[in-house]
Amino acid sequence: MYKAVFLDMDGTLLKSDHTISEATKRTISRLTHQGIPVILVSARPLDAILPYVRDLGTAHYPVVSLNGGYIVLGEEPIFQAVIDAETTAGLVRELKQFSNTTAYYLRREWFAEVDDEWVKHEQRISDVRVRIQPIEGLVEDWAGRGTGPNKLMVMSDPPSIGLIQGHLKSIYGDGLNIYPSKPTYLEIMNPEGSKSNAVRFLIGRMGLDRSEIIAMGDNYNDKEMIRFAGMGVAMGNAPDEIKQAADYVTETNNEDGVRKALEKLIPGEG
């Protein structure tokens, strides 16, 4: 019997219109009433996750935001990983060589240098207003406070994202987690901040073994989480590489893939 479920949001739990089907909500409610935690694990900032947490009735469970860079339980932060200010300053310099828009996330705040269509798109899913300001001054402030962002998100066309990823990997190697969360988004994080590390941290707190958990996702930032879980589930809309990393492939996010996998793996009684 599986004892906890970890769900990615976009492309997994959420349909393409950013809603959760009523049937999926009922299945998740059944699990939580059976005492099985259902924990959302997302690249989104916290305030873009909380409305869904409240809708699902799972606010008493931890919430993993920013790809594992910032985890809260209720209003209490229980884990965060940051990119130090010096490294962030270097990333700013490198990114300016390419065509892109970069957002910088620290806990529940986010920042960008321009309010363009990329930023406006992200603003539509977040209750927290973006702060538009020069990044160099912000990095100086972070340096003075001994902190830095939990995540950078680079937004550009797919060919540019590929070039930027290759360039940054050649400089930072395994010193940073650098991977696409979709073809137009590149996520940059401290190596300690990842979905798989978040799941590992939380099951340690819950006293669970990895064999007792299910993790579902659809994209490259979900791959290690899927591989780590005792039952790793890839969505039908996932790239082949993610499907190959999974133990089980369900239907797409628009075909109630999460619900169908949960009903198969944790069937109801009677």
Residues with catalytic roles: 8
Give the angle 114-116-121 at the CA atoms, nearest 5°. Answer: 120
- CA distances (Å), origin 36, targets 24, 27, 164, 201, 223: 15, 11, 40, 17, 23
Both structure tokens of 218: 């659809």
The set of residues, in sequence order, having a beta carbon less than 8 Å from that of 250 and lying 6+ positions away, is 216, 233, 234, 235, 236, 257, 258, 260, 261, 264
d(CA 194, CA 220): 11
Q: 3-state DSSP helix/strand/coil percent for the chain, to nearest 5?
A: 40, 25, 35
* CB-count burial class (<10 Å; 0-12, 13-18, 19+) for 91: buried
Q: Which of 45, 39, 65, 51 is nearest to 216 (CA)?
A: 39
